[in-house]
Amino acid sequence: ESALFGRVNPNLYAARGLIDAMMAPLVIVAAVRSKKWPIDLHVSRRIVYHSATLMVAGVYLVVISAIGYFLRLLNSPWGMVARISFVAGAILLLVVILSSASVHARIKNFVNHNFFSYKYDYRQEWPNFIAAISGNLTEVSIPVRIVRALANILDATAGAIWVHIEEDGAYRLTGSWNIDGLPPNVPAQNPLIRTLAGTQGIIDIEHNAVDAKTLLGDPLPVWLKDDQRVWLVVPLTHMSGLLGFVVLGRPRAPRDLNWEDFDLLKTAGRQAASYIAEEESSQSLAKARRFEDFNRQFAFVVHDIKNLAGQMSLILKNAERHGDNPQFQTDVLATVADSLKRMHSLLDQLKQRRTASAPVNRLDLIGTLRKLAERWQLQIPNLNVDLPDGTIDIVAEPQHVETVFNHLLQNAVEAAGRDGRIAMRVYAGAMTDFPETEASPGNGWAVVEIADNGPGMDAKFIEEKLFQPLDTTKRSGFGIGAYQVLYLVRDIGGRLDVQSEVGQGTRMIVRLPIAPSLVVSSKFGEFSSI
């Protein structure tokens, strides 16, 4: 204009700012989408998405204002009523549109397709996917979380998951979301399973293709092909095997899929499969632990029954010499009755075991050991018992305490023989003897020593074999007794120590924590736990 007319219109300067403002968004989008521009500029997808939404809403309001102005020019008697009704209806329609998930999905697809080089912001998609699976949703199972997490990637409205059950030889429906009427089991020989395992790709049900490029060789199942609610099948692969698959429902807004969608879904499917494998491993481990606990209890019961049988054998041998003694006969009947009671108690342990939270009452250790010693003296007349006159209370189950010292006395008898010397001594010890032990601090120990003059054991045997389960040097043994004693003593909160040398006999020292707030008196002196 300056060259032609020799002047410049000042309105051009006034319009320059508005024109620059209109061009700026286009320059920004071009800079973001072009990989050749040496400019590191990142525009948040969320900002672009919300800006586009506000722009659409603004254009909508401008159109509504123009229509309202046109209605005002009509000068109709109903013009004011028409304008008010129209504006109110338009605002209501805008609120409905902005709250519609389908509209949001369409705007999101438009923004991702036209304003960015890639459809997904992977820095946002991946954390959202992980959070959806591993979130603290105790009321939602892992399979349902996986379905919802995969559905959120494509704005799908429904989905279901099948997981391989090896025992059934099929894939079982383990969770669904917003969909029902699907088969509960899909056989492992189904053509769908062969396709998923062979290609490990995403099946597009509508186009009968894998990853939108390979046509399916095997036909889809009828229940999948004829169901208008379903859209995609996502394999869940783990360790090169098909752990399961997810069927996704149709999205809120129509969308075209490309390599980005398929790659993201396959990667997410592998991650989801790892969560399922971890969950299955946890369940298998918990089941194995329950069986391990039951097997341990069963082994303990069998070993206790073996010890009871050994005690009955000793009574029969003693009956050859003392069978005519009425006092011996009375003691034998009492011992048999007590043994029968113990066997019933052992069998009950297999049916109803104490849980970790079950309350345990106080137990008079001296009284319990005195009754136990009286029974054993019927079988071993030369058993030397040294018990204090007072009481020492501990917190433990009577059955466990009896089992511990029955095993120790039985082992002493087997080591020393019927003519050997066996002694049991009980006293209260200070907690400072073992300051590293945290059990019942400040209350002291109830110490029980059982000694015999048997052949003894070397340090290597004690360290490597004595407390190993199923490892025994006895012909008739199970290798359970010492392990059970150690297990029960630790369960009570105590400790077990062994003093032994080859040819010098063995001394087993059991230390059990004394119950709090007690004063223990004995002929060894007074020990206060207060």
Tens of pLDDT, residues 344-397:
776 676 565 544 444 567 899 999 999 899 888 877 778 899 998 888 899 998
For residue 406, the domain's CATH number is 3.30.565.10
pLDDT of residue 473: 62
211 in any annotated domain: yes
Same domain, 261 and 165: yes
pLDDT at 162 over 90: yes
The last residue of one of the domains, among 263, 283, 303, is 283
329 in any annotated domain: no
pLDDT of residue 193: 92
- CA–CA distance, 15 with 510 (Å, rounded to integer): 97
The last residue of one of the domains, among 235, 250, 283, is 283
- Whether residue 448 contacts residue 425, with contact meaning beta carbons closer than 8 Å, is answered with yes
Mapped onto helix, strand or coil, the DSSP state of residue 385 is strand
Same domain, 279 and 233: yes
Same domain, 57 and 140: no
- Per-residue pLDDT reduced to its tens digit, 386-437: 998 888 899 998 888 988 998 899 889 888 887 788 999 999 876 544 444 4
Beta strands in 32-74 (DSSP E): none
Same domain, 273 and 219: yes
Buried b (16+ CB within 10 A) or exposed e, 410-446: bbbbbbbeeebbbbbbbbbbebeeeeeeebbeebbbb
- CA–CA distance, 494 with 405 (Å, rounded to integer): 14
**Confidence bin at 203 (pLDDT 50/70/90):** very high
Same domain, 444 and 374: yes
338 in any annotated domain: no
- CA–CA distance, 306 with 376 (Å, rounded to integer): 16
HSE-CB of 137 using CA atoms within 13 angstroms: 15
pLDDT of residue 178: 93
For residue 236, the domain's CATH number is 3.30.450.40
Phi–psi pair at 527, nearest 5 degrees: -120, 120
Query: CA separation (Å) from 513 to 275, 369, 442?
Result: 44, 16, 9
Same domain, 127 and 249: yes
335 in any annotated domain: no
Same domain, 483 and 498: yes
pLDDT of residue 78: 65
pLDDT of residue 140: 84
347 in any annotated domain: no
Count: domains in the chain: 3
Mapped onto helix, strand or coil, the DSSP state of residue 187 is strand
306 in any annotated domain: no
- CA–CA distance, 81 with 503 (Å, rounded to integer): 115
- CA–CA distance, 115 with 415 (Å, rounded to integer): 87
Indicate if the alpha-carbon torsion angle 391, 392, 394, 396 is positive or negative.
Answer: negative
- CA–CA distance, 495 with 513 (Å, rounded to integer): 9
Same domain, 148 and 267: yes
- Whether residue 367 contacts residue 502, with contact meaning beta carbons closer than 8 Å, is answered with no
The last residue of one of the domains, among 115, 145, 174, is 115
pLDDT at 19 over 60: yes
- CA–CA distance, 247 with 146 (Å, rounded to integer): 11
Query: CA separation (Å) from 53 to 101, 116, 338?
Result: 13, 16, 84
**Confidence bin at 171 (pLDDT 50/70/90):** very high
183 in any annotated domain: yes
pLDDT of residue 366: 93
Same domain, 493 and 522: yes
* Amino acid identity, position 427: Y
- Whether residue 429 contacts residue 511, with contact meaning beta carbons closer than 8 Å, is answered with yes
CB-count burial class (<10 Å; 0-12, 13-18, 19+) for 97:
middle
Mean pLDDT rounded to a whole number for the chain: 79
Same domain, 12 and 62: yes
Same domain, 393 and 523: yes
| Structural domain boundaries, residue 466 | 359-528
Cα–chain center distance at 447: 40
- Per-residue pLDDT reduced to its tens digit, 329-347: 777 777 777 777 777 776 6
336 in any annotated domain: no
Same domain, 202 and 240: yes
